[in-house]
Amino acid sequence: MSFLAQTAEDPSPEPIPGAADGRAHLFNGRTAERYRRSVTDGVGLVAATVARAERPFTGVTPAELAPEISGIDLERPLGDPDAALKELESVYLKDAVYFHHPRYLAHLNCPVVIPALLGEAVLSAVNSSLDTWDQSAGGTLIERRLIDWTAERIGLGEAADGIFTSGGTQSNLQAMLLARDEACTLVEKEATAAGEPIAKSAILPRLRILTSQVSHFSIQKAAAILGLGYEAVIPVPCDQDRRMRTVSLAHELNRCRREGLIVMAVVATAGTTDFGSIDPLPEIAELCDRHGTWLHVDAAYGCGLLASPTRRHLLDGIERADSVTVDYHKSFFQPVSSSAVLVRDRATLSHATYHADYLNPERSARKLIPNQVDKSIQTTRRFDALKLWLTLRIMGADAVGTLFDEVVERAAEAWALLDTDPRYEVVTEPQLSTLVFRYVPPSDGPCDPDLVDRANLHAREALAASGAAVVAGTVVDGRHHLKFTLLNPETSLSDIAYVLDLLAEHAGQYLALHIEPEFSGPRHSRAS
């Protein structure tokens, strides 16, 4: 008989002495039935809320919601789980932004698969910490197996390794840390061999990172955190499809060499946040090989292609990277957080190693005890790998990849719809599932570009306030644009067309109110 079945048959436990001091709420063998009932009630509430959600957002404003939450007296506990859940429904669940809704089209937030939610429930209750073997045991080996699996999918080779992280920002930070210390070690060795030793402090000001002008801002943040400064990141121009120009990259590599600067890393992006563009990885890898430069591929978004049955070729060249960022909580449909950084040579992870006598002394390494903290810039870490493990064991990689294929296909259909719609101009045809576009007034109603900017901003804000849909925005070439990020296979082309009609209606109404009379003209909208 399973444990859950057994506890379901057991009578309710006797009241626990010391309940007033909180021991009644500790999860252990005596409170297992209480835990089961509480979690069941909570899951039931969430399931019911999601089932009846008719829109992705209520449109609530901070000014409306903040007083309700700030008015709660945290010094007076409710004591009753049912009362706490009812309160939570009022202050959170009712107004939450629901990524599972097909008209949530804003950011890189995915609906999550049920096997991963099962994993979340298990890992939270057991509460393993993945820093050392004596805190996690099998969890350590499961995480390591998933790192190996991901490295195999990328094609990094037998010496590859990696570690789970909290997200793409942390993964990119650790990759830049490794690249920085590898570059410094190489320069120090060369200087020593030449009889001219150099201090690391003298090397740091010369270090540079080359990355596309539309890469993720976490690269700049990493440079600042690592003591290099934002100016250490050199943006490389992109082509009309928002992909790094390899001619420009070659120019910058040569210029840095001439000026005595050290390119510690080239960061290629496999799925830019705004455009979903994938840099030309094979050509970039070739240049990095030629210059002896560390290649990092930020595939936080595009990593879903690793599981795609039909589009894996879009990542060709990623196998030549020295480090790779993947975010399972984007295109693998995992709950936040679930990310990893992987490296071609496991020895480079030693740059993040620090041996603490109380935790992971050097003798543990000599005994081959697998302490994951030896590879991580974190100490305490959740067992987030369990979510991906159960997803692969229940669904399989092909099922995950097919879901990602669906959103990529939907984005292609949406691009075709936008490209023929006179109300909009679209920036570029997507490689993944992101579309950046802009409402434009009809040809018989010329408008000041700044006014059109404000109309696009208004359309996004008005749509969010209505709660009917949620879209994102960005700035392209100095002008405000709208953005769809499609990560929900349930989003249909009809949903997209409906949202486009709503946006055009809001923008058109704004222009009708603010345009100069001599420029006013008929407005068109397909919204009903």
Mean pLDDT by 10 residues, the chain (528 residues): 46 47 89 95 97 95 96 94 96 96 96 98 96 94 98 98 97 98 95 92 96 97 96 97 97 97 98 97 98 98 97 98 98 97 97 89 88 94 97 98 98 97 96 97 79 96 96 96 98 98 96 68 40
* C-alpha 55 chain-centroid distance: 23
* C-alpha 19 chain-centroid distance: 41
- Pair type for strands 161-165 and 323-327: unpaired
Q: For residue 358, what pLDDT is reported?
A: 87
Q: For residue 515, what pLDDT is reported?
A: 77
Query: Domain extents for the chain?
Result: 3-90, 122-394, 399-519
Three-class SS string for 177-213?
A: HHHHHHHHHHHHHHHHHCCCCCCHHHHHHHEEEEEEC
Contacts of 60 (CB under 8 A, 6+ apart): 95
User: What is each CA distance from 502 to 47, 133, 186, in whole angstroms?
Assistant: 29, 54, 57
User: What is each CA distance from 324 to 163, 178, 209, 376, 457, in whole angstroms?
Assistant: 11, 12, 15, 15, 35
Residues 353 and 25: their CA atoms lie apart, in Å, by: 37
Pick the CATH number of 122-394 from 3.40.50.2020, 3.50.50.60, 3.40.640.10, 3.40.50.300: 3.40.640.10
Contacts of 468 (CB under 8 A, 6+ apart): 55, 103, 499, 502
Start-to-end C-alpha separation, the chain: 57
> Positive or negative, the Cα torsion across 164, 169, 173, 176?
positive
Contacts of 204 (CB under 8 A, 6+ apart): 180, 184, 227, 228
* C-alpha 160 chain-centroid distance: 22
Cα-based angle 463, 467, 472 (whole degrees, multiple of 5): 50
By CB atoms closer than 10 A (0-12, 13-18, 19+), residue 52 is exposed
Residues 372 and 130: their CA atoms lie apart, in Å, by: 7
Q: For residue 528, what pLDDT is reported?
A: 33
Structure tokens at 180: 């920085």
- Closest alpha carbon to 163 in 461, 368, 384: 384
User: What is each CA distance from 234 to 222, 224, 460, in whole angstroms?
Assistant: 13, 13, 32
- Closest alpha carbon to 431 in 415, 449, 455, 450: 415
Q: What are phi and psi of 430, to 5 degrees?
A: -75, 145
Contacts of 136 (CB under 8 A, 6+ apart): 128, 129, 130, 372, 383
- The number of beta carbons lying within 10 Å of the beta carbon of residue 2 is 7
Q: What are phi and psi of 408, to 5 degrees?
A: -65, -40
Q: For residue 20, what pLDDT is reported?
A: 55
User: Cβ(308)–Cβ(271) under 8 Å?
Assistant: no
Task: Map tokens 């990602």 to a residue.
Answer: 404
User: Cβ(322)–Cβ(347) under 8 Å?
Assistant: no
User: Cβ(503)–Cβ(105) under 8 Å?
Assistant: no
User: Cβ(220)–Cβ(277) under 8 Å?
Assistant: no
Residues 349 and 156: their CA atoms lie apart, in Å, by: 15
Residues 18 and 26: their CA atoms lie apart, in Å, by: 11
E strand or H helix that includes residue 167: none
- Domain with residues 399-519, CATH architecture: Alpha-Beta Complex (3.90)
